[in-house]
Amino acid sequence: MQEDETINALRLLVQACVDGEGEYSDCARHAQTVELRELFAYRAQACREEAAELEGILRDLGGRPEHRGSVLGAAHRSWMAIRSTLGVNGDGVLLDACERVEEVTLMRYRGVLSGSLPDSIRQVVLKHYELARHTREQLQALRARMVIEAG
């Protein structure tokens, strides 16, 4: 991957982190259980830290970080706010939202990892990817448990 391609790829990942932070922060505020509130708050903080780490790499490469999320991410958070206002915001809905965020995040990370990256950057990106993968597995396990408990 050329340096410009690496910079653009990293910007895409920062955008995913910003979207994730926003979504998880919103979900943490509306979660009904302490377990979900803590998980969502932890993941929001992790997304914030990942974005900062990627922005540092961008600066080192001479790129300018653009710390903002995607239009789609902002639209989804607006939709979640409307649902919350209408009282349609159970923990299952929040889990759905966070699972979608992780799926989009994983897709973006897979795309970047499929390209050629300098080894030091690849290690950082892979670390972030693994955390997102682990989080998605946690969310799926929580969903399964909710189904069993409700059944």
Q: Looking at residue 146, what is its pLDDT?
A: 86
Is residue 131 pLDDT above 60, yes or no?
Answer: yes
Please write the tens of the pLDDT for every residue from 58-111. Answer: 999 999 877 554 444 444 444 444 444 445 458 899 999 999 999 999 999 999
pTM over 0.95: no
Counting DSSP H helices and E strands in the chain, the numbers are 5, 0
Q: For position 89, which CATH number holds?
A: 1.20.1260.10
Q: How many structural domains does the chain have?
A: 1
pLDDT level of residue 148 (50, 70, 90 thresholds): confident
| Residue 125 and residue 117 in contact, taking contact as beta carbons nearer than 8 Å | yes
Distance CA 5, CA 70 (A): 19
What is the extent of the structural domain holding 72?
A: 3-150
Please write the tens of the pLDDT for every residue from 28-49. Answer: 999 999 999 999 999 999 999 9
**Pair of tokens at residue 101:** 């965020």
Backbone torsions φ then ψ of 68, nearest 5 degrees: -150, 155
Over residues 51-58, the mean pLDDT reads 96
Over residues 2-20, the mean pLDDT reads 94
